[in-house]
Structure 1
């Protein structure tokens, strides 16, 4: 079982339980995350509020709601956990070199283009370091980070992502990734070196990729170009998206990290002009952990992979 923060056993375990409840939203989900029973989670939180002399939870239908006192305690616990991460980093200087391990959760495009090359580099430089990689498509990746099931999360921040000054997590931008236009091979734009987004206001569009970030980027880009896209079909998997485009069912924006599948009659066309949408690829870590040896080495490898990829792809 992973701790809420790896190695943070010196901190009252009930604070970890409260953080898990805040991150997951329900006692049952918090219990699953912590590999405890719901009754154990409830008992720990009752004991915590009894010891502190404040009410931390209020009934909210069949669920519970965190009180103002609970949010105050969470604020202080975020600071406490961040200081512990820093303490762990400082203590590493007094320990003998050891292998260590790290787990990375990443969206598919970043996993294939950045995380995999970074892991290969780490294997060359630190062969004893254990690196575990997961795509975790059904998971809330920030929750994985806060509950200790991931040490680094590489993703595209959505609207509900933590802010840059969040007290629990910190962000490290790896690259600004351009968007291209994906069109059928027989489309008039397929032979162009670059096109302006506004010229495609009358086209049929696909809702392509993750609707939490990629579709929102399409809507904002088209709005900036002066039109609302006419959405005809949707798909999340980029192979399926490419198939829809190949058969003339619509066009879409495609991130430059995403390769165009072989065998489909599609063409990637760069965008030019005033509206050239990009998406930000970010590595999230728990605040205070950036100086820990394994985390720092992994961030360095990720930056190296991002720099190498950007140099070869006009980013």
Structure 2
């Protein structure tokens, strides 16, 4: 018998190249990872790993097994779906993960909807952005991830995941109150004129996020599409810090339409106009086959209902 959890560990070792890195991704100890892979090899009567320099590589037997692992994972998810169908998904645990603004504007309201409609279904929410969100799915620590697909993320046809577009969200330019672009935007909106183009902020000092946050490459891609490279003066990922810097007149940045500013006096939102106005696409991601599990299906439906109700 093959333990699917051990296949997930083998996949993590193959993806990360070392036992230590795989252990970090799986939230396990290195010794536990080694034991799981050795046990899997013993069950099959083959060696799965071999040393390579300072790292390790999969043996030919390990490569063959990994080719079948994704299909086995999908079949396992479909088996769980069939079993869960008898309970209609109203019991058990559903784990949601996502980046910070997705947690506050999508996951939290969806969890509240689920609690009201299925009080015996326990919903757990965690925060993860970029590759850690996909790793949480593969390790079984999450059932649904809310992501903005990163440049180095899994492609749309990755056999391990089902990725669905949930929401296309515009990005606004956040500037200090009294900024000339904010005053112009207010005037042009009142006069029903064209509005502000992102390129008009090319000469500003910009606030960038740290590398682990998707916001950084979203801003970079939007500015590149508008024809300029922003001059970054500050690198902060937490929106409390970002808004404080803007309020102090130290820079500007792009921010999600869903981010509320009513408690952030001193910061103005400039809605951008013109062709190619920036935005971000938010996806729900599940392990392939898991969308048929009733609890996961309920979670996806709740997220879709919340997204439909957002004024973006």
TM-score tier after normalising by the smaller chain length: 0.7 to 0.9
Instruction: Give the count of matched residue pairs.
Output: 303
- Structure 1, unaligned runs of 5 or more: 1-8
- Structure 2, unaligned runs of 5 or more: 190-194
Q: Who is 2:249 aligned against? A: 248
1:242–1:261 Cα contact (<8 Å) kept:
no
2:130–2:150 Cα contact (<8 Å) kept:
no
Q: Who is 1:75 aligned against? A: 67
Q: How does 1:38-53 map to 2 (within 5 A)?
A: 38-39=30-31, 41-46=33-38, 48-49=40-41
Q: 1:147 aligns with which of 125, 139, 149?
A: 139
| Stretch moving more, 264-273 or 84-93 | 84-93
d(CA) in 1 for partners of 2:221, 2:88: 51
Structure 1 residues 92 and 211: CA distance shift in structure 2, 3 A = closer
Distance apart, 1:19 and its partner CA:
2.4
Q: Who is 2:153 aligned against? A: 161
Distance apart, 1:219 and its partner CA:
1.8
Q: Who is 1:5 aligned against? A: none
Distance apart, 1:40 and its partner CA:
5.3
Q: Who is 1:17 aligned against? A: 9
Q: Who is 1:203 aligned against? A: 204
RMSD: 2.7
1:196–1:275 Cα contact (<8 Å) kept:
no
What TM-score do you get using the length of structure 1 for normalisation? 0.85
Q: How does 1:1-315 map to 2 (within 5 A)?
A: 11=3, 14-31=6-23, 38-39=30-31, 41-46=33-38, 48-49=40-41, 56-67=48-59, 69-94=61-86, 99-136=91-128, 140-191=132-183, 192=185, 193=189, 194-208=195-209, 212-260=213-261, 262-309=263-310, 312-313=311-312
Q: For residues 20-45 of structure 1, give each alpha carbon's deviation from its aligned partner in whole angstroms, at most 9, with x where no partner exists.
A: 42355432354567676644543553
2:222–2:278 Cα contact (<8 Å) kept:
yes
| Stretch moving more, 214-223 or 54-63 | 54-63
Structure 1 residues 33 and 276: CA distance shift in structure 2, 3 A = closer
2:167–2:282 Cα contact (<8 Å) kept:
yes
d(CA) in 2 for partners of 1:179, 1:63: 42
1:176–1:280 Cα contact (<8 Å) kept:
yes
Distance apart, 1:238 and its partner CA:
0.9
d(CA) in 2 for partners of 1:259, 1:163: 32
SS in 2 for 1:295: helix
Distance apart, 1:62 and its partner CA:
3.1
What TM-score do you get using the length of structure 2 for normalisation? 0.86
